[in-house]
Amino acid sequence: MTATMTPYRPPQQAGRDGFAQLVHAEWTKFRSLRGWVIAMVIGAVLIAVVGVLLPRGDSQCGTASGAACLAQVPTGPGGEAVNDSYYLAAQPLADDGSITVQVTSLTGMISAGNGGFVTPNSPPPGTLTPGLVPWAKAGIIITAGIRPGSAYAAMMVTGSHGVRMQYDYTGDVAGLPEAASPRWLRLTRSGDVITGYDSADGKGWTEVGSVRLAGLTGTVQAGMFAASPLDFTPNFPTYSESGGSTSASVATGTFNDVDLRGGAAGGRWAGQAVGATGANYAGPRIGLRQAGRRFTVTGSGDIGPVVAGMVNSSYDTGTLADHLFGVFIGLLIMIVIAAMFMTVEYRRGLIRITLAASPRRGRLLAAKAVVIGLATFVLGSAAVAVAVIAGSRIAHNGGIYVLATGWPVQARVILGTGAMLAVASVLALSIGTMLRRSVVAVAAVVVAIVLPYILGVSGVLPASAAEWVLRVTPAAGFAIEQSVPQYLQVIGHYGPPDYYPLTPWAGLAVLCAYAAAALGLAAWLLRRRDA
Amino acid sequence: MWTIGRNQLRAEWTKLTTEPGTAWILAFLCLLTVAVGAATAAVTRCGAGTGSAVDPTRVSLTGIEVGQAVVAVLAVLVISGEYSTGMIRTTFAAMPRRWTVLAAKAAVLTAVVLAVAVVTVAASLLAGRLLLTGNGITAAHGFAVVSLAHGPTVRAAVGSVLYLALVGLLTLGIATIVRDSAAATGAVLGVLYVPPVVALFLGSDPAWQRWVERYTPTNAGLTILNTTGLHGEVISPWAGLGVLAAWAAAALLAAGVLLRLRDA
C-alpha cells in the first residue's frame, strides 16, 4: 500500500518578506549590540549635559546679580531685545501731522583705541578722531514715547548706507539710491500709519515706505534725532566668535528748514538723551544746538535689535546655539556607530547571511537607514530639547539674556538638530556601505562631517575659507542650530556658533543633498558588487 | 626587552608595505594635505583689517589638520589590522617579546610617516607660496612670505613633519589599548578633534580654556605651525610639540603595559 506523504509545512505567515519585517530585523541587530546602545546613549547624554552646563552666566550689576540684571533690558513691540538710546529733539504731536527737514550734513567722531562705553558723565577715555561708523544715523523720527522700546518710524541719513527708513527696531528700507547732499526727508502721520518720503531737491518726493505701528495712539513725539553705534573692527582673519574690538562713537546731524505740521502753536524743540541708563553711551558733546533756523543734533547709541555676541549690548547675551556645543561630540559618536552599522557586517561575513535572507539589497540599505535615522533622530532630539530648554533657563537665571526663545524657534532648533543628526548618520551609513572597511569608513565620516565643522568654527582658517567650508561641506547642516536672525542694519560678528553663512533650512538641505547622493551611490555599489 | 634587531624591523616593514592599502593611504595623505592647504591659500585675501594677522605659513599648512586623520588611519591599521584578522597571534608566536613588537611597529610607522610628511609639507609650502603671492599676500604688503630663509617658517616646516609622526605614535598607542579598529579610529579622532572646539566654547571660562589650549595634543601641538603672533599664544611652539610628545609617550607606555598583561 502506497500512500503519498505530504510533508508538513508550517503555515506561511503573510508578509514575512515585507519592509516592516526587514526594519524589525535590522532594529534587532542594532539594539542587541550592547556597546552600540551604550555609546549612543552616552552621545545623547553628552549633548544634554554639556548644553546644561555651558554657559551659565554670573552677571553682577550693583547689588543685584543673575536674572535681576535683565529687568532693565528694553524690548521692542515685537518682543525682541532692543537697543534704544539716541539723542532726540522733539515736540509733541497730538494728532495727524508731518515733519519735513533738510539734512545738510552728517559728521561723526570715533573714540580711538577705546573699547568701552562713553557715559554721560565721563568723557571718553580715548581721543575722539573725526570719522563716521557705517550705521551712524541722523534724521527725523516719530515715536510713541521716550521710554526705551517704544514703537517708532524714522527717516535718516546714514554713514555709508544712504538714506533709510527704519521702524520698530527690525524694519529697514533703503531710500533713493543716489547719495546727494543735502537731502530732504519727510514723515507723515495719519492715525497709526507713518509714511516716509525722500527727496533730493525738496520738491519732488518719493515714498520710501508706509508702516502701521501698533501702539502709536494719542500724543506722540516728532522731531530730529542722532545716534551712532559702537565702531566694530573684526579681528581679521578669523571667523570665530572670538574676534573684534569696539569703540564708542558720536554722530552729528545738521538740519535746516525744520517744518512740523500738526504740532502745538509756538512749540519749542526740547532735547533729551533717550535711554540714558544701561546701554546708553552719550558723550560730552551730546546735545541740541540752534543757530537761527539751523539745528545740530549730536547723539550716540543705536536704535535697533540686539544681536548675539555682545557687540552692541552692555549686558551678556546668548542664543540657543550656545547650548548646542555638545552636539558635535554626540554627532561624532553617532556617525561612527552609523558607519559601523554596515561595516561590521563585512568583517565577519554576516553580510552574506543578511543578503541571503533579504536578497533585495536596496531595501536592506533602506531598512538600515530607517533604523539608524530614527534612532539618532529620537535620541538626538530628546537630548537637544533638554540642552536648549534647561540650558537657556539656567543661563537666564545666571543673568544671560537668551535671545529668541519663542516656541517656534525652539521647536525648529530641537527637531532640526535631531534631523541633522539623523541625516548625518544616514550619510555615515552610506559611506560605510561604500568603503566596507571599518577603519577607513570611520575616518572618512569624521573627516567629511565633523572636521569641516571644526575648521569652520575654530578660527584656524581665514574668514573667507571658513565661510566656504560651512557652505559647501556636509557641516553646512549645523546651520539649523542658528536661532537668531542676522540684521544687515546692525554690525556684529556674524560667525558661528551663533550665525552661519547659510540659512538654517538651506544648510540642512546641503547636508541632505550629500546624504541622498551618498545613499544612491551606496545602493548602486551594494547591488553591483559581490558581498 | 628593548632589543630591536633588524629582523623585527624587517618583519614589521614587510607587513606594512605588503598591505595593499598602505600605498594608497600614504598617497592620499600627501594629496589631501596639499589640496586642503592649497584650497585655503587660494581663498585667502588680504582683507580690510590688520593684514599682518594672516600667517602665510600656517595657512599653507592648513592641510595638516586633515592629514593627521589619514596618519591616524594608517597607525590604527598597523596594530588593529592584526587584531581583526588574528594575525597578532602569529606575530607574538614569532616575536614573543611584546615590547619589542610595539617598538618595531613604532619605528617602522615613524619612518614611513616621516618620509611622506617631508614631501607633503614641502609641497604644501610651495603651493601656499605660489597661491598666496598671487593673492597679494606679499612682503610688499607687510606679510612674512613663505620662504625657507625665514627662521620661523623652517621651524614650522620641521615641526609639522614631527607633528604628523607624533600623531602616528599617539594613535599607535591608543589603538593598541583599544584594539578594535573602528572604536580605535573613533577614539583617536575624538582625542584629536574634540579639544579644539571645547576650547572655543569655553570662552566664558578663561582659566579652563587656557588649560585646554595648553595641555591637549592638537591645540598644543599645532602651535608649531605659527610663525606670527607668537606672543599671544598660551604655549611656545616647541613646548607645544613637547606636550604632544608627552601624550604619545604616555599612550605608548600604557599600550606596552597592557600588551604584556593581556592575552592576545
pLDDT band at A216 (very low <50, low <70, confident <90, very high): confident
Q: Which residues of A touch B222 (CB under 8 A)?
A: 460
Q: Which residues of B touch A464 (CB under 8 A)?
A: 43-45, 47
Rounded distance between C-alpha atoms, residue B59 and residue B63, angstroms: 9
Q: Which residues of A touch B185 (CB under 8 A)?
A: 336, 438-439, 442-443, 446
Given B43, B53, B198, which is nearest A235 (Cβ)? B53
Complex-level ipTM = 0.80
Q: Do A380 and A418 touch, CB atoms closer than 8 A?
A: yes
Given A439, A447, A463, which is nearest B182 (Cβ)? A439
* CB pair distance less than 8 Å for B203 and A242: yes
Cell of A57: 552666566
- Pick the residue with more confidence: A307 or A460? A307
| pLDDT score at A279 | 37
pLDDT in tens, A290-349: 888 899 998 888 898 888 765 556 677 888 888 888 898 999 999 999 999 999 898 878
Residue among A52, A233, A447, A470 with most chain B CBs within 10 A, to mutate: A447
Q: Which residues of A touch B66 (CB under 8 A)?
A: 447, 451
What number of C-beta contacts closer than 8 Å exist between A and B?
130
Q: Do A126 and A249 touch, CB atoms closer than 8 A?
A: no
Concatenating the DSSP letter of every residue in B190-222 gives HHHHHHHHHHHHGGG-HHHHHHHHHHSHHHHHG
Helix (H, G, I), strand (E, B) or coil at A485: coil
pLDDT in tens, B137-161: 766 666 666 677 778 888 999 999 9
Side chain identity, residue A521: L
Given B40, B44, B193, which is nearest A451 (Cβ)? B193
Closest CA to A102 of A45, A185, A44, A16: A185
Closest chain A C-alpha to B5 CA, distance in angstroms: 30
Q: How many CA atoms lie within 13 A of B257 on its CB side?
A: 5
* 3-state SS string for B63-116: HHHHHHHHHHHHHHHHHHHHHHHCHHHHHHHHCCCHHHHHHHHHHHHHHHHHHH
Q: Which residues of B touch A461 (CB under 8 A)?
A: 40, 62
* CB pair distance less than 8 Å for A443 and B193: no
Given A339, A340, A465, which is nearest B44 (Cβ)? A465
pLDDT band at A115 (very low <50, low <70, confident <90, very high): very low
pTM: 0.83
* 3-state helix vs strand vs coil in chain B, percent to 5: 80, 0, 20
Helices (H), A398-498: 407-435, 438-445, 451-457, 463-472
* CB pair distance less than 8 Å for A446 and B73: no
| pLDDT score at B232 | 64
| pLDDT score at A122 | 42
pLDDT in tens, A135-176: 899 999 999 988 888 999 999 999 888 899 999 998 999 888
* CB pair distance less than 8 Å for A443 and B84: no
Concatenating the DSSP letter of every residue in A172-197 gives EEE--SS--SSEEEEEEEETTEEEEE
Cα-only R_g, chain A: 30
Mean predicted lDDT score pLDDT of chain B: 85
Rounded distance between C-alpha atoms, residue B51 and residue B53, angstroms: 5
With 60 as the cut, is the pLDDT of residue A15 above it? no
Mean predicted lDDT score pLDDT of chain A: 84
Closest chain B C-alpha to A464 CA, distance in angstroms: 6
* CB pair distance less than 8 Å for B200 and A462: no
Q: Which residues of B touch A344 (CB under 8 A)?
A: 182
Q: Which residues of A touch B197 (CB under 8 A)?
A: 325, 328, 453-454, 457-458
With 60 as the cut, is the pLDDT of residue A121 above it? no
| pLDDT score at A71 | 73
| pLDDT score at A62 | 64
Cell of A304: 535697533
Q: Which residues of A touch B45 (CB under 8 A)?
A: 462, 464
Q: Which residues of A touch B43 (CB under 8 A)?
A: 462, 464-465, 468
| pLDDT score at A13 | 59
Q: Which residues of B touch A339 (CB under 8 A)?
A: 182
Helix (H, G, I), strand (E, B) or coil at B229: coil
Residue among B73, B191, B234 with most chain A CBs within 10 A, to mutate: B73
pLDDT in tens, A27-59: 999 999 888 999 999 999 999 998 888 766 666
Span A478-502, mean pLDDT?
85
- Pick the residue with more confidence: B8 or B176? B176
| pLDDT score at B43 | 81
Span B68-83, mean pLDDT?
90
Query: CA A130, A131, A137, A138 torsion: positive or negative?
Result: positive
Query: A296 φ, ψ to 5°?
Result: -120, 135
Using the CB atoms, write b or e for A260-290: b if 16+ within 10 Å: bebbeeeeebebebbbbebbbbbbebbbbee
- Pick the residue with more confidence: A220 or A68? A220
pLDDT > 70 in chain A, percent: 87
Q: Which H or E element spans position A328?
A: helix A326-347
Rounded distance between C-alpha atoms, residue A522 and residue A517, angstroms: 9
Given B58, B69, B76, which is nearest A451 (Cβ)? B69
Given B54, B65, B204, which is nearest A460 (Cβ)? B65
With 60 as the cut, is the pLDDT of residue A120 above it? no
pLDDT band at A126 (very low <50, low <70, confident <90, very high): low
Span B59-75, mean pLDDT?
92
pLDDT in tens, A382-419: 999 999 999 988 888 888 888 877 888 999 999 999 99
Q: Which residues of B touch A336 (CB under 8 A)?
A: 182-183, 185-186
* CB pair distance less than 8 Å for A443 and B69: yes
Q: How far is CA A197 from the centre of its chain?
A: 31
Rounded distance between C-alpha atoms, residue A411 and residue A373, angstroms: 19
Closest chain A C-alpha to B1 CA, distance in angstroms: 31
With 60 as the cut, is the pLDDT of residue B58 above it? yes
Cα-only R_g, chain B: 20
Closest chain B residue to A322 measured between Cα atoms?
B201
With 50 as the cut, is the pLDDT of residue B107 above it? yes
| pLDDT score at A278 | 37
Name the β-bridge partners of A88: A225, A272
Closest CA to A150 of A249, A217, A232: A217
- Pick the residue with more confidence: A120 or A72? A72
Closest chain B C-alpha to A505 CA, distance in angstroms: 24
Closest chain B C-alpha to A442 CA, distance in angstroms: 6
* CB pair distance less than 8 Å for B48 and A236: yes
Highest mean pLDDT among A47-51, A75-79, A131-135, B85-89: A47-51
